[in-house]
Chains A and B, each alone.
Chain A
């Protein structure tokens, strides 16, 4: 009989979206609103339309010693699931049974206090994670050595470099030895060297027969560490199976393309007399494209219009258009402007379409976002749309490298020329076989 470690049955979590009632119109209403606030819960129940189900009827079992990965896009419910299983927040319905002591690492360095020394923070953080003082006493030297902060152990951590801080934080977490461990993306910290060390530690944890529940966006790590995977989408389990099959399904671009690839103007700012009205990723024929290979050109089709109701004679001429391409978590990577010397001036017209071609190779396979910006230089912020377009970059069409390309190691898809200077002083390209 294989022993059960976690049983999740019909787990659901509903969030009430705050401020359900329309916002207060003027001061008197605002004041009434504030005065009524303490009594509101005695009033009518809120409409079901304000409800948001972060998890809906999720069930799965985890056997003892199994390493299970939960994957899914932002907002799929991964973190909510971890929060319920780690008892931070209660479920709305369903049940979780835990067969063993559980430790959760939803963040490293929880409770670290800058004014306390490294030593003091190890004890504070360790007990917050559920360790006993004697457990920490026993592992103290190991933790300090793992973090490599021996010389600074009695220095307040606010004087640590960010790298040292993260290393110490992870070191404490890595020495939490509960039977069940929940881990959320904590590997995305520190320099490459330390990341490798962390991965090694997680490998070790997985091999010692402990049960681990893992959440990460990093498919390469997930494939390596997890035997089994679950794919969540909008709070429901889409599929479960071996990690490789689940990850393949996740990485494959969405055939319907409904999640991204369509212009999304919800987050728009600016005075707005001219606006970006559409943005699409297209192929060479101008048709919609999705999952463009990372070594191909990226084509963006952009429509810009003077807003209806503006006086006759208003035109787009002189406006500056900028596209900022960002990683999925919003980090700006690249700015493209129509006033770059390969750009084009906007015409003296009320609307126009421009095609922006970014020569490939472009970005490492993954999800990216485009923010659009239209302005009058130095004068006016005309239109800005954050997250106007989300798109996927797929794996390269031509051979690239014998390993998977993933965003954990950098975002730009470039190939360098490598030359051996020593011992042969003559530059040889590997594919020119000594010619």
Chain B
């Protein structure tokens, strides 16, 4: 950066121009690149501070999806006899809960991140987008830890992961994209209307039941399934299961969900960009 500076400063061209019209591009690559170390340290701060002064520490990252799975396995799997596409219900539901827990955790953290870092935003300039981005990135650590349990659970039931399990990486990236987009949208709204932070937990709960997390998509009438796939997490979670278990991937449904994730991410980024300049005045 400072190398480039020498050239620019000598040329008599302003390094930065500040005016009210804000004709700044949606993504300032040069600036983001300069601040990449900050993204790293913000993410790392979130991770290292999260379980400070807890007894269980990172075990919390496992307990949350695991205990939820146990509850659903007892009530839906055993008592209600929920179908699970021929897979033991605990494995079936954990495969849904794993990405879902990441998604909802990332959206919640990102959605409250801007208000939560108000003291930074009002004191110093840096690309604001780093705040929700570091929130979704730090949630990835919990996701990775909880994934270890999946391995144990599958070994317990004697299920060998299919070779397609490598697809988990791009699928995780897609989940992160959807979570970041929605998280940014909510984060920007939360600056102006604090109602958002109270609505997020409720929204996530409803959203979970609108997603095939604890029930199979096959329960939804076939005619409704394309509409159902507009929920980005529908296609993603189905693809998770198919990738790990080696069953047929429903490409059209994944395609719709991926597209919808991309659209949501773009809308979220745009909304965030539109409002970020006034964050310091409104937060």
Contacts and interface: CB of A to CB of B under 8 A. Distances in A.
A binds B: yes
Interface of A: 3, 7, 15, 37-38, 83-102, 104, 106-107, 110-111, 113, 115-116, 120, 123-124, 127-133, 179
Interface of B: 1-2, 5, 9, 12, 14-20, 22, 34-35, 37-38, 40-42, 45, 48-49, 52-53, 119-126, 193, 195, 277-278, 280-281
A106 B123 contact: yes
B123 A107 contact: yes
A95 B9 contact: no
Contacts of B42: 124, 127
Nearest to B22: A90
Given A91-B20, A97-B14, A99-B14, A128 B48 contact: no
Contact of B18 (A38, A98, A101, A129): A98
Contacts of B126: 128, 130
10 contacts: A37-B193, A86-B124, A87-B16, A92-B20, A96-B18, A97-B17, A101-B5, A115-B49, A115-B53, A120-B48
A100 B5 CA distance: 7
A110 B119 contact: yes
Residue in A3, A84, A97, A99 whose Cβ sees the most chain B Cβ within 10 Å: A99
A113 B123 contact: no
B9 A100 contact: yes
A177 B18 CA distance: 21
B19 A116 contact: no
Contact of A15 (B34, B121, B122, B281): B281
Given A86-B124, A101-B1, A128-B124, A96 B19 contact: yes
A92 B193 CA distance: 22
A391 to B, nearest CB: 32
B42 to A, nearest CB: 8
Contact of B9 (A83, A94, A127, A179): A179
B18 A90 contact: yes
B250 to A, nearest CB: 38
Nearest to A85: B18
Contacts of B16: 87, 96-98, 102
Contacts of B280: 83, 88-89
A133 B42 CA distance: 13
Given A86-B125, A94-B19, A132-B34, A113 B14 contact: no
